[in-house]
Amino acid sequence: MDETPLVERLFLKGFEVTSATEMDIDFDFGDLGMLVVRVDGQGCGQEVFFA
């Protein structure tokens, strides 16, 4: 397991508008893959998942 602190392994990869009322914020999570935070039109978190 990587001993590097989480904050040093999580990099913003991009933003993707998925609908008129939702947006995904993608983070490269190194060896764990892609972490996606889905937010609504006002920026409130709706869902978090690995992709």
pLDDT value at position 31?
79
Neighbouring CB atoms inside 10 A of 51's CB total: 9
d(CA 23, CA 7): 22
The pTM is what?
Answer: 0.78
13 and 30 Cβ atoms separated by less than 8 Å:
no
pLDDT value at position 25?
96
Neighbouring CB atoms inside 10 A of 38's CB total: 15
Q: Which residues contact 26 (CB under 8 A, 6 or more apart)?
A: 12, 13, 14, 15, 16, 34, 35, 36, 51
Per-residue pLDDT of the chain (51 residues; tens, 9 = 90+): 668 887 788 899 999 999 999 999 999 987 788 999 999 999 999 999 998
